[in-house]
Each structure stands twice: as C-alpha cells, then as structure tokens.
Amino acid sequence: MHVRTLTGGLVAACLMSSALAAGQAAAAPHTANAPAAARVLTYDAGGSAEFRGAVDRGAAIWNESVDAVELRPAAAGQRADIRVLADNGWPRALPGTLGSGTVYIGRQAVDEGYDTVRISAHELGHILGLPDRKPGPCSSLMSGSTAGTACTNPYPNSAEKTRVERNFGGALTGRAPAARAEAIVD
C-alpha cells in the first residue's frame, strides 16, 4: 500500500511537471489579498431630458475616479438604485440608503450658467455619501455652486475620492449616509 501511494504521488508529480513544461498549467487565483469587487449601482437617466449626456458623463467620471463603486445605466425594466430627473428648480439630491436615491438636474442653475456635467457629478456625489463643502474652491467638486459659474471642474478631489472609497469599501453598504435624510439642495 505504501508503494501504491508513493507511485500515485510520483505519477501526479510527473503529470504536473509535464503540464508546466507545456505551459498549460495555471495557478489557482489567490484571493486573500485580491481587491474587493466594485459595488455596482444602477442609474436611470430616462427622465433627465436634455441632460442625459451630462448624467452619463458624470457617472463615467466617478467610474474613472474610484474603484469601490461603479455606476451603470439600468437595463430596460430593471429597478435602478438612482433615478435622475430634470426639472425647472435648483439641482438637488434626495439620498436614500448609501448608493440610492433621486437626483434632480435643475434647469435654474443651468440657466444661470452652471456646468451640467459638474452638476451631475456633484449630485451623484451626494448619492455616494458626500456632503456639500461650502464655501469651497473649484478644485472641490462638492463645493457646488459656491465655486461660481466659471468653474467647470467635474472631478472629485483626492479627499472626496477617499471618502467614497471608504464608504463603499467596507461594510457600510446599505446604511444611510450620515446626516443625509433630508434633501440636499445646492
């Protein structure tokens, strides 16, 4: 019996060596230090009217900026985590739990000269758990309207990126963002 075990082990070792020499063996993926998969949030911009392109670009900017969360358009018939609507008021976000809620791209700010992509990225930032940072410089996406109409920067700064990574990188999913129960009017 000891000979059978030794022979079986020897055969297995030879087969593995042959596979390695032929380049057909693949190491099993090591997952202990692998980064966690991004949490996918879907959005429905069907009601965003003329701002659809700006909403898609705002979502793409977040996707380029952070790894822990990914914003994707909802498939037809799928219930979206985030609804984006256009109206005649001021832009605002109504966050639900972290990663869900409703965003309004208000025409009032657009009529005053504010950039639509910056508005979209800013309001999506609220859904991702970021508060307003007013007053603030143009380099801060969450400074919102206080950066003025000349500011067209739609990119989050490093602190904003870090906070979103932290919000979605751990066990915080499904929790409401702190102090976000009310509408965020910018």
Give the active site residues: 123
CA 1 – CA 3 distance, rounded (Å):
5
SS3 content of the chain, % helix, strand, coil (to 5): 40, 15, 45
Whether residue 98 contacts residue 177, with contact meaning beta carbons closer than 8 Å, is answered with: yes
CB neighbours of residue 74 within 10 Å: 17
Report CA 85 to chain centroid distance, whole Å. 19
Report CA 73 to chain centroid distance, whole Å. 12
